[in-house]
Amino acid sequence: MEIIIQPTPETATQIAARIIARLLREKPNAVLGLATGSTPVLLYRELVAMKLDWSRVTTFNLDEYIGLPPEHPQSYHHFMWENLFRHVNIDPNNVHIPDGNARDIPAFCADYEARIAQSGGIDLQLLGIGTDGHIGFNESTSSLASRTRIKTLTEQTRKDNARFFGSESEVPYHVITMGIGTIMEARHTLLLAFGQSKARAIAAAVEGPIMAMNPATILQMHPTATFCIDQAASEQLKLQDYYRWVFDRKPEWQRV
């Protein structure tokens, strides 16, 4: 694991943007796994400003609410088009976001997995983290081998996400999410976390025991997992000085 600690969300975002930009330059037909929420908003703004070529890029989003129409302002379809896709030259046929209105959800999920495999697999999976350590919408006690499926949100996640909706009662209970097994097959995982509210989940994810109670801990088993976090999110890490020391001494060829 590489733990990159930066003073602010802005500087952490710039590093994440450079990692993605480098991938798109080296592999113009890269397959990206994308995330939603407040954390990647700055990143998408930065990527748009970089004017990269998205014409051959394929994307798969992590998750979507069940039952919201795609044009609903809080649907992740809406989020992705507003924050990224409509500002870049991506081919809409290459955009994949779980369909929260699919008539047969298990069949849709199996097809989503098949499409990821047909695309050659995800080169880089962007992740946020929930205050409970969820990745995608894989809540605590999700199977660490899970695949894309329906999940029921915890009360905490519904509370956390109520800020985007008018009230908590409007937050859907059910979602489709890529599984933890699906996420683990990405060739590179890039997790972003900002703010003190994420400090506990980050400390557990990086330095705690691997357990389904904190799904992000499974990233300790990923051969290429990068965490790009701000100072506030790093505050409970025991080895934070070591992570800074490593980053400051990266050989030139490893720098982004």
Nearer to ligand PGA by Cβ, of 109 and 183: the residue is: 183
Q: Which of 33, 128, 172, 179 binds ligand PGA (CB under 6 A)?
A: 128
Could you tell me the smallest distance in angstroms from the CB atom of residue 248 to ligand PGA? Answer: 27
- Active site includes 2? no
Could you tell me the smallest distance in angstroms from the CB atom of residue 39 to ligand PGA? Answer: 3
Nearer to ligand PGA by Cβ, of 84 and 129: the residue is: 129
Residue 166: which residues within 8 A CB-CB, separation 6 or more? none
Given 64, 123, 139, 185, the catalytic residue: 139
Given 96, 134, 188, 222, the catalytic residue: 134
Nearer to ligand PGA by Cβ, of 40 and 123: the residue is: 40
Given 46, 63, 113, 230, the catalytic residue: 63
Q: Quick check: 106 and 93 in contact, CB under 8 A?
A: no
Q: How far is CA 51 from CA 16, 54, 77, 126, in A?
A: 15, 9, 22, 19
- Active site includes 63? yes
Nearer to ligand PGA by Cβ, of 33 and 128: the residue is: 128
Cα angle for residues 59, 21, 96 (degrees, 5° grid)? 5
Residues numbered 130 to 149 that lie near ligand PGA (CB under 6 A) are 130, 134
Span from 32-40, 50-58, 87-95, 174-182 in contact with ligand PGA (CB under 6 A): 32-40
- Active site includes 139? yes
Distance CA 223, CA 133 (A): 19
Could you tell me the smallest distance in angstroms from the CB atom of residue 81 to ligand PGA? Answer: 18
Cα angle for residues 200, 176, 125 (degrees, 5° grid)? 60
Span from 64-72, 88-96, 127-135, 145-153 in contact with ligand PGA (CB under 6 A): 127-135
Q: Nearest to ligand PGA by Cβ — which residue? A: 37
Residue 129 within binding range of ligand PGA, rule CB under 6 A:
yes
Nearer to ligand PGA by Cβ, of 105 and 183: the residue is: 183
Residues numbered 34 to 53 that lie near ligand PGA (CB under 6 A) are 37-39
Residues serving a catalytic function are: 63, 132, 134, 139
List interacting residues with ligand PGA (CB under 6 A): 37-39, 128-130, 134
